[in-house]
């Protein structure tokens, strides 16, 4: 099965970036983005109506829809904290090449949904919005994929709506933070000041340098602009402050309640979430396997998309041949025991 190539290399089979029309609801700065994968995926973003009880009217919710339905379980891609579906720009086309019905969803409060009426964006509202989107538009049990904080969103959703989830894939999961902590006690003016800093280019550049194992400076600037594009929408600050003051996600006590098969993917050079937490997560999930990706940082689906696409494709189709794996031993959390990881042996194209 051929799945295209690395995002930083030549283009895959159906990701030829051509300059076309961007959706009118995207910030005009989208035209300044150079990354051909981001430009191509941005042109496919659309808004779907999602009716939720906490809003008087439907929320026009942004996502990338699959072009075709398939017999396999749909793959639904979430994103990290304060990000958007453009995070999947490199991996999404490879999953389509693998004939998977793939959705890339913007979590309520982030991404490019129309939030002019300022609905609540706390964890419960995000969960219910995702459920209503699933119930209205996807309608079948899904393979839910969550990177970083998106893993907490996925766990919370799977525990509360198990009928909607077939399997889970958690990528460099940030699931042990107990919500937004002391930030909930900030005066509003300080919360807005802090949130405003989140969209600044220097902070986004620094975040990219932390997130990726090795990235050229020119690409770092462009990817920072991709990552902060949704921050330029007029309601972004209000939605993010609402989430911050609400307490955020705390799923520590839900992890052991997950009754689905789980694939945990981890970039071994993660500078944001300690790899020891992958061991802890594997130990607490009732039915999980772990794959570590060598020479990879916090965002494997951006940095090593071909490997991530193969892992997702194999996990989505149980009959698919398994990649050659080799166990390696790492120290456990308490330093007393050992733990086996599977390292995926896939050469970069």
Q: Which are the catalytic amino acids?
A: 148, 270, 298
Q: How far is CA 200 from the centre of its chain?
A: 21
Q: Counting runs of H as helices and runs of E as strands, what totals does the chain give?
A: 11, 10
Distance in angstroms (rounded) separating the CA atoms of residues 146 and 152: 7
Backbone phi, then psi, for 178, in 5-degree steps? -90, 70
Q: How many C-beta atoms lie closer than 10 Å to residue 84's C-beta?
A: 28
Q: Which pair of tokens denotes residue 48?
A: 């779907």
Q: How far is CA 15 from CA 84, 87, 184, 347, in A?
A: 19, 15, 42, 21
Which strands, in side-by-side order, build the sheet including 165-171? 46-50, 59-64, 102-105, 75-77, 142-147, 165-171, 261-267, 288-293, 338-344, 325-331
């Amino acid at each position: 099965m051929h799945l295209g190539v690395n995002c930083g290399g030549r283009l895959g089979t159906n990701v030829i970036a051509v300059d076309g029309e961007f959706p009118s609801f995207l910030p005009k700065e989208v035209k300044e983005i150079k990354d051909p994968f981001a430009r191509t995926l941005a042109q496919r973003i659309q808004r779907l109506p999602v009716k939720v009880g906490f809003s008087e009217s439907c929320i026009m919710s942004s996502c990338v829809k699959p072009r075709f339905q398939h017999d396999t379980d749909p793959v639904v891609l979430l994103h990290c904290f304060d990000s958007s579906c453009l995070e999947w720009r490199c991996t999404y086309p490879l999953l389509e090449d693998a004939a998977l019905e793939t959705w890339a969803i913007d979590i309520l409060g982030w991404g490019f949904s129309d939030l002019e009426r300022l609905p609540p964006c706390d964890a419960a509202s995000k969960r219910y919005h995702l459920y209503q989107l699933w119930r209205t538009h996807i309608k079948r049990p899904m393979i839910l994929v969550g990177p970083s904080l998106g893993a907490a969103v996925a766990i919370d959703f799977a525990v509360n709506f198990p009928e909607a989830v077939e399997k889970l894939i958690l990528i460099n999961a940030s699931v042990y933070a107990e919500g937004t902590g002391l930030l909930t006690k900030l005066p509003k003016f300080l919360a807005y000041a802090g949130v405003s800093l989140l969209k600044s280019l220097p902070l986004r550049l620094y975040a990219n340098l932390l997130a990726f194992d090795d990235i050229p400076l020119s690409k770092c600037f462009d990817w920072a602009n991709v990552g902060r594009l949704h921050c330029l929408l007029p309601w972004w600050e209000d939605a993010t402050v609402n989430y911050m003051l609400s307490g955020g996600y705390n799923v520590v006590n839900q992890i052991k309640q997950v009754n689905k098969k789980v694939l945990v993917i981890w970039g071994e050079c993660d500078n944001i979430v300690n790899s020891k937490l992958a061991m802890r997560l594997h130990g607490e999930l009732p039915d999980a396997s772990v794959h570590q990706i060598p020479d990879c940082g916090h965002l494997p689906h951006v940095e090593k998309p071909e490997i991530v696409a193969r892992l997702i494709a194999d996990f989505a189709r149980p009959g698919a041949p398994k990649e050659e794996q080799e166990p390696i031993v790492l120290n456990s959390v308490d330093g007393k025991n050992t733990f086996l990881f599977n390292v995926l042996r896939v050469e970069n194209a």
